[in-house]
């Protein structure tokens, strides 16, 4: 009798929770089993819906520590947020103990499985170094050098290219430098990330088809680079993040281990499913399978229209789209399309953008007679709708500020700043006497953010509005590598490779403009100490050369242990970065203790960089980006998941969004061909993995270039869509008539001759 009353009370509490949810959220909360896909538009309350559904599932099924709901997401901050929400609902709303669930990142889940069965996983975490690989990691350069050594005939083929080599030694050195430092590291990284994050790696041996009509055997090159990388990883006792997933899958191949793990998992809920890879999906699906009835209890929530990482990571929205279509056929697909974040005009603007872009791209692809159009269309046809006002509704759509959407065409980037500043001051003075609100300027590139910050930071003094600049990458992430590269240059200034790295770092950190780094780094002596018979250097090259000579002079004048601090000051590190350098310096002193020499510092730094064990001074969490009474300048990528009252989107130009779809090509790389070798390799591999074309011929370079261009354009349009949907009350967009052609080479010295006529982003024209 008492138990019946408890069940009735719990049932009523669950019904009350469900009643306060929106459509879409309700369907998620009412899930009873099997596969389900939920596509959630920006601002739909996805996290709240997922946490509520999780708590209800735990309560209904009386889950406990030996029978759990596993919730998986892709960032640590997201896991902490979801765990907190589930616990609050269980304890405060349902009056239950916060047990029966686990919130983990996909990689922490994989590690837990692998460590539980070390003999099956073969992971050996205590003897291996977990390494976060990118295209500039030293291991990638080692991979390339090893591949060149073991495949000289393929390297010679690339070196020869489509344009015959002359007898000029400098041309040969230039081609070698471009191949070894630019092209092949990017090809290697793309090949490794695609091959390793797909089902291809589950086979002990695999082959990749080559198209004999292509000038290079790209898939042979890709596989060769992957195999060299794997050998180096084993030799150096390293593992990467894909190895974590693969080790967990090795455990799940074992019948008894798999059954034990499946018995402990009631279901799997996955958040941000659009960022998943084939291996990750495979792992979660196996875990979610019920051993008794062979039913897969797998709920995936995401939005492929907000997939903004697929052109530089192994994530791919295709897999979540495919899962949604599969669930649609089984009547288990739902949408969260009511969003309470934005005012109506901003919702209408986002919807119009989505439809217009899809129609534009579709028309272009039909014109080009592309067969598989659907895979290159940027967006799923999903309309954002305002929240239907019901009793006890909260977080409903706000009223717009003025028109809610403002589009400007300033004469140049300097007038853009003036217009933004005037608008912010007007809003701040008008609105915030009663209630503090927040502002954000979202930019496509870090250098745009720095340019804006320099002109707007005085708002803090003049109007008591805090101005915060957020870099796209964590401040400490590349500091050890930068310091190492500069010290290697100081130790071996005659090295072309070390000079090249130093030029890249100095030009980026000091905002200097230098386009042709490759040519200057081929002959270090000529660059640093030119003679009368050498070609005269222009003013910009002389300026950068002098910076490099200052560094070399410090090598002669300072003790080795003083060099790191000197370098950080020379590069004008900010306060947080300087704190990180201080921490790094202390770590090096602890490691060396006695006999501090430049060589010992370099060796210690190498171990730190390669070991991935150094953690810098922690940055603030995402809440600090949305503080009231603050203007946050942040990149569009980093803004995902955040929101502000007033959002400004300046510098919307066609050459940036959507761009021409082609990746950056190093100067003088045309000998390879009129295409980006790394991007083409990536597209061909994706096509093989997507369509299981191992038994078919490789697509041509022309087809791969076209596909790559449209994939990149699609992602740029999705990035703009994400940026637009961060705004609550006002969305301000602009396209200056004159702007830098490439922001990476722009130096703000007041010289407007650097600015060129720029066409606006096509979306701005359509919205106007």
Average pLDDT over residues 619-642: 86
Average pLDDT over residues 323-347: 95
The least confident of 73-77, 494-498, 611-615 is: 611-615
Please report how many Cα atoms fall inside a 13 Å half-sphere around the Cα of residue 188, on the Cβ side: 30
| pLDDT attached to residue 312 | 74
Q: Is the pLDDT of residue 529 over 50?
A: yes
Instruction: Report the residue count for the chain.
Output: 768
DSSP 8-class letter at 758: -
| pLDDT attached to residue 742 | 87
Average pLDDT over residues 587-615: 80
Q: How many CB atoms lie within 10 A of CB 560?
A: 18
Angle formed by the axes of helices 560-570 and 539-557, nearest 10°: 150
Q: Is the pLDDT of residue 760 over 70?
A: yes
The least confident of 27-36, 277-286, 738-747 is: 738-747
What's the Cα-to-Cα distance from 442 to each of 640, 652, 697, rounded to whole Å?
10, 11, 43
Give CA torsion, residues 292, 293, 296, 298, to 10 deg. Answer: -70
Q: How far apart are CA 14 and CA 109, in angstroms?
A: 29
Average pLDDT of the chain, as a whole number? 88
| pLDDT attached to residue 574 | 76
Q: Is the pLDDT of residue 695 over 70?
A: no
Instruction: Give the tens place of pLDDT for each residue, 403-413.
Output: 999 999 999 99
pLDDT band at residue 450 using 50, 70 and 90 as cut-offs: very high
Average pLDDT over residues 710-735: 96
| pLDDT attached to residue 613 | 56
Average pLDDT over residues 416-422: 97
Average pLDDT over residues 415-431: 92
| pLDDT attached to residue 393 | 54
pLDDT band at residue 475 using 50, 70 and 90 as cut-offs: low
Peptide bond into 658 cis (omega under 30): yes
What's the Cα-to-Cα distance from 299 to each of 37, 70, 653, rounded to whole Å?
6, 10, 39
pTM, entire model? 0.87
Q: Is the pLDDT of residue 5 over 60?
A: no
pLDDT band at residue 689 using 50, 70 and 90 as cut-offs: confident
The least confident of 141-150, 182-191, 387-396, 733-742 is: 387-396
Instruction: Give the tens place of pLDDT for each residue, 288-297.
Output: 998 888 899 9
Q: Is the pLDDT of residue 2 over 70?
A: no
| pLDDT attached to residue 637 | 93
pLDDT band at residue 391 using 50, 70 and 90 as cut-offs: very low
Q: Which residue has the tokens 């087809």?
A: 703
Instruction: Give the tens place of pLDDT for each residue, 537-570.
Output: 888 889 889 999 999 999 999 988 899 999 999 9
Average pLDDT over residues 286-306: 93
The full 3-state SS of 218-262, as one line of letters, equals HHHHHHHHHHHHHHHHHHCCEECHHHHHHHHHHHHCCHHHHHHHH
345-384+393-472+623-659+703-767, which class in CATH? alpha beta
pLDDT band at residue 336 using 50, 70 and 90 as cut-offs: very high
| pLDDT attached to residue 152 | 96
Q: How far apart are CA 210 and CA 208, in angstroms?
A: 7
In three-state secondary structure terms, 215 is coil
Q: Is the pLDDT of residue 349 over 50?
A: yes
Domain 2-117+250-336 grouped into CATH 3.90.105.10: no
Average pLDDT over residues 619-643: 87
Please report how many Cα atoms fall inside a 13 Å half-sphere around the Cα of residue 642, on the Cβ side: 27
Assess contact for 571 and 482: CB atoms under 8 A.
Answer: yes
> Helices H, strands E: what count in the chain?
30, 16
| pLDDT attached to residue 395 | 55
Q: What are the residues facing 441 on neighbouring strands?
A: 633, 648
Q: Is the pLDDT of residue 681 over 90?
A: yes
Q: Is the pLDDT of residue 667 over 80?
A: no
Q: Is the pLDDT of residue 614 over 80?
A: no
């Amino acid at each position: 009798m008492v138990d019946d009353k408890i069940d009735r009370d719990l049932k009523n509490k669950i019904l009350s929770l469900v009643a306060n949810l929106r459509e879409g959220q309700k369907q998620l909360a009412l899930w009873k089993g099997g596969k389900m896909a939920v596509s959630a538009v920006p601002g739909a309350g996805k996290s709240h819906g997922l946490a509520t559904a999780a708590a209800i599932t735990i309560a209904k099924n009386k889950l406990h520590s030996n029978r759990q709901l596993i919730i998986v997401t892709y960032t640590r901050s997201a896991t902490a947020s979801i765990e907190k929400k589930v616990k609050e609902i269980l304890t405060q709303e349902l009056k239950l103990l916060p047990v029966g669930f686990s919130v983990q990142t996909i990689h922490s889940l994989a590690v837990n499985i692998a460590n539980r069965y070390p003999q099956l996983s073969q992971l050996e975490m205590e003897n291996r170094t977990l390494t976060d690989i990118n295209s500039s990691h030293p291991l990638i350069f080692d991979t390339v050098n090893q591949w060149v050594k073991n495949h000289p005939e393929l390297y010679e083929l690339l070196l020869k290219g489509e344009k015959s080599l002359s007898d000029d030694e400098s041309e040969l050195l230039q081609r070698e430098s471009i191949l070894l430092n630019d092209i092949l590291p990017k090809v290697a990284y793309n090949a490794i990330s695609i091959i390793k994050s797909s089902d291809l790696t589950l086979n002990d041996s695999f082959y990749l088809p080559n198209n004999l009509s292509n000038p290079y055997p790209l898939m042979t090159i890709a596989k060769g680079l992957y195999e060299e990388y794997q050998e180096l990883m084993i030799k150096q006792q390293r593992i990467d993040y894909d190895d974590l997933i693969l080790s967990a899958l090795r455990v799940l191949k074992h019948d008894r281990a798999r059954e034990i793990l499946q018995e402990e998992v009631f279901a799997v809920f996955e958040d941000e499913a659009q960022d998943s890879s084939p291996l990750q999906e495979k792992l979660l699906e196996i875990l979610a399978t019920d051993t008794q009835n062979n039913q897969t209890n797998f709920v995936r929530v995401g939005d492929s229209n907000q997939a903004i990482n697929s052109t530089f990571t192994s994530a791919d929205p295709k897999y979540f789209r495919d899962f949604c279509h599969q669930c649609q056929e089984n009547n288990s697909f739902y949408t969260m399309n009511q969003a309470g974040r934005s005012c109506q005009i901003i919702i209408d603007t986002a919807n119009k953008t989505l439809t217009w872009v899809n129609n534009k791209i579709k028309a272009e692809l039909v014109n080009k007679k592309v067969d598989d159009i659907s895979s290159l269309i940027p967006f799923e046809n999903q309309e954002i709708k305002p929240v239907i006002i019901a009793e006890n509704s909260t977080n409903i759509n706000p009223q717009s500020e003025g028109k809610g959407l403002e589009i400007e065409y300033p004469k140049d980037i300097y007038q853009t700043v003036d217009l933004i500043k005037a608008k912010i001051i007007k809003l701040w003075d008008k609105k915030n006497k009663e209630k503090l609100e927040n502002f954000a300027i979202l930019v496509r590139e870090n250098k745009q953010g720095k340019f804006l910050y320099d002109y707007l930071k005085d708002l803090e003094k003049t109007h008591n509005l805090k101005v915060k600049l957020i870099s796209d990458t964590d401040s400490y992430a590349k500091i050890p590598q930068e310091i190492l590269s500069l010290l290697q240059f100081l130790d071996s200034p005659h090295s072309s490779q070390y000079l090249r790295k130093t030029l890249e770092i100095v030009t980026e950190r000091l905002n200097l403009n230098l386009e042709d780094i490759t040519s200057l780094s081929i002959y270090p002596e000529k660059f640093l100490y030119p003679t009368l018979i050498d070609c005269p250097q222009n003013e910009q090259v002389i300026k950068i050369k002098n910076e490099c000579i200052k560094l070399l002079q410090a090598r002669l004048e300072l003790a080795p242990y003083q060099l790191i601090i000197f370098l950080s000051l020379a590069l004008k590190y900010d306060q947080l970065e300087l704190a990180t350098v201080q921490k790094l310096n202390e770590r090096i002193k602890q490691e060396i203790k006695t006999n501090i020499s430049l060589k010992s510092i370099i060796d210690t730094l190498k171990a730190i960089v390669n070991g991935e064990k150094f953690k810098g001074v922690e940055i603030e969490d995402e809440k600090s980006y949305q503080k009231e009474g603050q203007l946050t300048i942040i990149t569009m990528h980093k803004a995902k998941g955040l929101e502000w009252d007033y959002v400004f989107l300046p510098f919307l130009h066609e050459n940036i969004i959507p761009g021409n779809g082609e990746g950056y090509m190093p100067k003088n790389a045309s000998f390879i061909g009129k295409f980006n070798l790394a991007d083409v390799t990536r597209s061909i591999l994706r096509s093989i993995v997507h369509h299981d074309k191992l038994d078919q011929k490789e697509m041509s370079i022309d087809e791969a270039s076209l596909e790559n261009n449209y994939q990149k354009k699609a992602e740029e349009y999705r990035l703009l869509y994400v940026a637009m949907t961060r705004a609550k009350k006002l969305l301000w967009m602009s396209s200056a008539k004159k702007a830098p052609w490439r922001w990476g080479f722009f130096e703000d010295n007041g010289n407007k001759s650097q600015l060129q006529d720029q066409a606006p982003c096509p979306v701005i024209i359509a919205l106007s």
